[in-house]
Amino acid sequence: MRLVARLLTLGTLAMVSPTHAAEPAPAVQPGQLRSAGWWRDQAVHFADGITDADARGKAHYELVYVQGFAGDFEGARASIRSINNPQLCIYAHVFLAKQYEASGDDNACQTQLQEAGEITLLPGNTSFFDVIRRHLELGQPAQAISLAGRIPHEFHRNAAFQDIAATLAGQGKLEMARDIVKKHLPPSWEQSGWSVMANACADALRIDEAQKLAAKLTDTKLQDRAYDHLVKALVKAGRAAEAGSFADRISDATLQATARAQITANMAKKQNAQVLRSRVEKATTREEKLALYDLLFAELVAAGDVAAAEAAIESMVEIVKASPRPAQKSKFGVFDDAGLIAKAQANYLATAKLLAAKGDREGSLRRTARARKAIAELPDESGLLKLMLVPALVASEIDAGDFHGARTTLAQLKQGYGQSSAAADVAAGLIKSGDVKSGLEVAELITEPLGKDRAMGKVASALLRAGQLDEAKNLLRKIGDGPNEVGAFRIVGQTMVELGRETELHQWLGELTSKTACAYLCMGAADVLAKRQAGKARSSSNSRPARDLALPNRWTVSGVREHHDCL
């Protein structure tokens, strides 16, 4: 297919008929099992019958991954032709390029990348990073540079060249990276260019190169961040002893204290409670004290010392109050002293578990209530912090069988992603405990579009595992097959095959009128059977690389997969 024709096709796909011939699904006799390939074919059959162009395109986007992991490249290419969303089309082409490269077909790999690159240049697209990075991974900087130079929007073009410079620096191609900064970035971008190069070198543990680049930075904030990045990289690599000199070079007092705290905590990991207490007394900044207290608290919990562990929690709170810091804002939310105190008080969940193990249920519930109060009262502006603490709270309540407390937690949360996600866990827990009615009542709190498919899928899966097939069908019937819900059908398809109920699944397909729902049910069935097949292949032969056989552990069925989130 010519590239120009491909671009024109993307603009008119909504009016084009499905690419696959939709033949009637063959009947399955009771007790008869089908292969992963059969379920993939059925998914294609139903996807082709979806009348809404957007829904059909999204289903075929998911199918590209199903077919590509199975080695059905012809089917994957056909599915790409039914995707009418340019950005999803780019992701699909890049994924298929990776599969071709893994199979040794370099020409087909290049064809897929070329098509993806052309689509990135359509107006409104910003997903060129994925294509550019793949070219660089394959050792093709010329192609990456050429594509970046053709990006029409100036900001996006500069961002692409900056990304190229960073990737090349991380690969050790510093001269080429420097040329990119000098030749392709305007003066106003030069400092950020050196900064991302320094960070990439740090991540690759090219420490000498990273520090030389950091030293070149004249922007104090960027230089501080570069040295902080060096510290993080060394600590992560278990080389904390080497990081002190870089922490010394950070000019911002708070950032320097935080960096030093990371070093201190890493080097103190294997020390006992007595030594940690001594180090806390000698620490001079709140950041170092809190980092050491985190380690001390873990030691005390491991020893089962509830009183000492809770004294450590109170000490953490007092340290924060005694040395207030201004709030910090980022794309992940507002992080302030109130958030830090709530994070410390969330540790009461650990002491609650200790008390429960000792038979003190009343004491355990009191500690859980303290943690709930601290977490629930955090404002939504806390962003990622609250989203991290809420699931931990709910999981603790469910593990303790405290469903009254879990429902109290849900009632204290504002409607939104946090409440919806937590409601799915509580509903599934109630159903597993045998209280199906209450579980379905809690499931009504799942209202947030983001993640609704996974949340409802979790509840429906719990119903199936509890033997409540009719209730699972009713739940899915209520939520429908819209873009935010249809992924639940895929999870249900996976569960039914895991439970050995393929015959019932096929009968269900005959009852459904939604081609979209049918397509995702079949994809779910194919997922599980393909993983089983891959597992058998791995155990029976060591001749094939694991990456050729591996299937993803978790699908994100709402569109773009995890590795595209950063874009």
pLDDT reported for residue 32: 52
Amino acid (1-letter code) at residue 91: Y
| Any domain includes 550 | yes
How many domains does the chain divide into? Answer: 1
Rounded mean pLDDT, 232-250? 96
How many helices (H) and strands (E) are present in the chain, helices listed first? 31, 2
Residue in 506, 501, 446 with CA at minimum distance from that of residue 478: 446
| Any domain includes 253 | no
- What is the rounded distance in angstroms from the CA atom of residue 250 to the CA atom of residue 206? 19
| pLDDT bracket for residue 221 (50, 70, 90) | very high
Question: Do 471 and 436 contact (CB within 8 A), yes or no?
Answer: yes
| Any domain includes 313 | no
pLDDT reported for residue 369: 95
| Any domain includes 501 | yes
Quote the tokens at residue 367: 């500690």
- What is the rounded distance in angstroms from the CA atom of residue 300 to the CA atom of residue 18? 62
Lowest mean pLDDT among 15-29, 56-70, 197-211, 396-410: 15-29
Rounded mean pLDDT, 175-188? 96
Lowest mean pLDDT among 418-427, 462-471, 544-553: 544-553
Buried b (16+ CB within 10 A) or exposed e, 224-242: bbbbbbbbbbbbeeeebee
Rounded mean pLDDT, 211-225? 96
| Any domain includes 498 | yes
Write out the H or E segment, with its range, that includes residue 521.
Answer: helix 515-540
Structure confidence by residue, pLDDT tens digits, 275-310: 999 999 999 999 999 999 999 999 999 999 999 999
Residue in 445, 379, 515, 436 with CA at minimum distance from that of residue 55: 515
Structure confidence by residue, pLDDT tens digits, 428-468: 999 999 999 999 999 999 999 999 999 999 999 999 999 99
DSSP assignments along 358-422, one per residue: TT-HHHHHHHHHHHHHHHHTS-GGGTHHHHHHHHHHHHHHHHTT-HHHHHHHHHHSPTTHHHHHH
Q: Look at 536 and 19; give whichever has higher pLDDT.
A: 536
Q: Which domain holds residue 431?
A: 415-567
Give 206's Cβ-side CA count (13 Å radius): 20
Q: Would you give the DSSP letter of residue 17? A: P
pLDDT reported for residue 296: 97
Rounded mean pLDDT, 543-554? 37
Phi-psi region of 407 (alpha: psi -120 to 50; beta: other; left: phi over 0): alpha
SS (H, E, C) 70-100: CCCHHHHHHHHCCCCCHHHHHHHHHHHHHHH
| Any domain includes 434 | yes
Question: Do 398 and 433 contact (CB within 8 A), yes or no?
Answer: no
Q: Would you give the DSSP letter of residue 334? A: E
Q: What percent of the chain has pLDDT over 90?
A: 82
Lowest mean pLDDT among 246-255, 482-491, 539-548: 539-548
Quote the tokens at residue 403: 């469903």
Rounded mean pLDDT, 412-427? 92
pLDDT reported for residue 16: 38
CA 269 centroid distance within chain: 28
Tokens 């891959």 map to which residue? 534
- What is the rounded distance in angstroms from the CA atom of residue 176 to the CA atom of residue 182? 10
Quick check: 566 pLDDT over 90? no
Question: Mutual orientation of helices 220-236 and 253-267 as an angle, nearest 10°?
Answer: 10
Determine whether 560 is exposed, middle or buried from the number of CB atoms within 10 Å of its CB (0-12, 13-18, 19+): middle
What is the residue-averaged pLDDT of the chain? Answer: 89
pLDDT reported for residue 534: 79
Quick check: 22 pLDDT over 70? no
Residue 330, φ and ψ in degrees, nearest 5: -150, 180
Residue length of the chain: 567
Quote the tokens at residue 182: 């000098």
CA 325 centroid distance within chain: 30
